[in-house]
Amino acid sequence: MEIKVLGPGCAKCKTTFSVIEKVLNENNIEAKLTKVDDIMEIMKYNIISTPAVAVDDTVMIKGHVPTEAEIKKLLGL
């Protein structure tokens, strides 16, 4: 599984990355977690508000910082 946090590196993007990282670590889930801050790369996902979260290149969350519960639900926990 590959999870990407899409955003320019703002505080909300960093918080989103931290929330996802925490959920992955607490649940022993192995996934490739990366930040995408290149605007040209972000534009490929056709989003207009960040932060956004893409799982296996499908945008699942956009425009807000997700809660831990939201990430758990997204990962099927």
Residues known to be catalytic:
10, 13
Dihedrals φ, ψ of 6, to 5°? Answer: -100, 125
Query: Is the CA virtual torsion 66, 53, 27, 75 positive or negative?
Result: positive
SS3 43: helix
